[in-house]
Amino acid sequence: MKIAVAGTGYVGLVTGVCLAENGHSVTCVDIDDKKVALMESGISPIYEPGLEELMNNNMERLHFTTDYQAAYKDADVIFIGVGTPEKPDGSANLSYVYGVAEQIAASIEKECVVVVKSTVPIGTNDKIENLIKSQLKHDVNVYVASNPEFLSQGTAVKDTLHTSRIVIGVEEEAAGETLKEVYKNFDAPIVVTNRKSAEMIKYASNDFLALKISFINEIANLCEIIGADIEDVALGMGYDVRIGNKFLNAGIGYGGSCFPKDTKALHWLANFHDYELKTVKAAIDVNENQKLKLIKKSRKYFDSLKGLNVAVLGLTFKPGTDDLREAPTLVNIPLMLEDGANVKAWDPIGIDNFRKVHPEDVTYCYSIEETLKDADVCFIFTEWDQLKHFDLTKYSKLMKNPIVIDGRNCYDLESVKKANMVYDSIGRETIHNLEVSLI
């Protein structure tokens, strides 16, 4: 089939490349000509494991352009995968989605299905349909379908090629049949429903996962107070298949481009309809507090971070991505700097992006060892494998005070007990194991 994809961010580019892998001819459209030139030369503008390789394997079926008219005019299916960033009031900014809808209306010359992949508030597909139909330049049939994505950054290619489900929200059977044809080579259950239900499936899924994380974080906080161990608690809970063992990792809260935005957007939408989504509100509030957990913990050891050498390990919102959106470091590092700390930071791939926000006031290091050298305290924000496999004895060898405050529970407590350090993690006993007490 002839497919066009609007937007080449995580959603658009991964969708386009995976559809090309499944035999379709795909034209990816972006307004940024530098990005287009990069992709044409086989370079992915985003870091996503396996994406560039898959892109290069499918170059004969993949095209990149800024010329939306040429891409849309005779496409069978047009996917909209542009961003829906959060507005200051928590609602979703739909101007990019509507902009693409207008371009589609001005361009299409034959019947096509417009598929909304971007996460949009419930009811937006109806508005997109009205907008396109009211501005059509050529008298052609156009269908609008909702087809939310469920990909996670860092595993986006795998999540798309081996998706857990394909959700198709349509108002006409014909549009549903076209989408089934698009996905005919995918081995996944297909849920066909109306558009509003499909839009809701996406929000409800993300908000439920966010709620699960906030729940386990609250239980972890209570575990610390009463002396229980969150890892064992999560293990014991996870064996119940009704609960499941996924997304029960306690930490410093969720970040990224989806959970923070989608929880706020659904809460906002409910409020707009005079309904309070209390559980989602709780997930948001707990997460905001959780992000500050490490700084609060540091107060046990220091009244202030003024003049201290602070080592920050991990900058991104999770491992496997260079994305910093809603990363806890974005609120914590400014607080450390405000407090007067000398901040040194390490991340295997997030430094370039972090440097754009903090070009001067943070010293960036290219090894964990260099970051730890002479540090008074160390904060772990991202559970990179390099950290999980780091030799624990090095903390005391390199740091001035081996105090490690870990927001991602990277180490098991038995191993920590053999090292000479103070180790304070989430929802677990704090290990004070200094040969010579420095604090």
Binding site for ligand UDX (CB under 6 A): 149-153, 206, 209, 213, 247-249, 251, 254-256, 258-259, 317-318
**Catalytic member of 258, 365, 378, 410:** 258
Residue 317 or 423 with smaller CB distance to ligand UDX? 317
Please state the closest distance from residue 253 (CB atom) to ligand UDX, in A: 6
- 350-376 per-residue burial string, b: 16 or more CB within 10 A, e: under 16: bbebbeeebeeebebbeebeebbbebb
How far is the C-alpha of 91 from the C-alpha of 404, rounded, in Å? 38
User: Half-sphere exposure (CA, 13 Å, Cβ side) for 104?
Assistant: 36
Residue 209 or 312 with smaller CB distance to ligand UDX? 209
Please state the closest distance from residue 37 (CB atom) to ligand UDX, in A: 27
The three-state secondary structure class of 368 is helix
* Residue 107 dihedral angles phi and psi, to the nearest 5°: -110, -35
Residue 154 or 176 with smaller CB distance to ligand UDX? 154
Please state the closest distance from residue 111 (CB atom) to ligand UDX, in A: 30
Please state the closest distance from residue 252 (CB atom) to ligand UDX, in A: 7
Please state the closest distance from residue 128 (CB atom) to ligand UDX, in A: 20
Contact 282, 303 (CB under 8 A): no
Residue 323 or 424 with smaller CB distance to ligand UDX? 323
Active site residue 258: yes
- What DSSP letter does each residue of 150-184 carry, written as one string? ---TTSHHHHHHT-S-EEEE-SSHHHHHHHHHHTT
Contact 125, 195 (CB under 8 A): yes
List strands edge to edge, sheet with 190-193. 62-65, 25-29, 2-6, 77-80, 112-116, 142-146, 166-169, 190-193
Residues with catalytic roles: 258
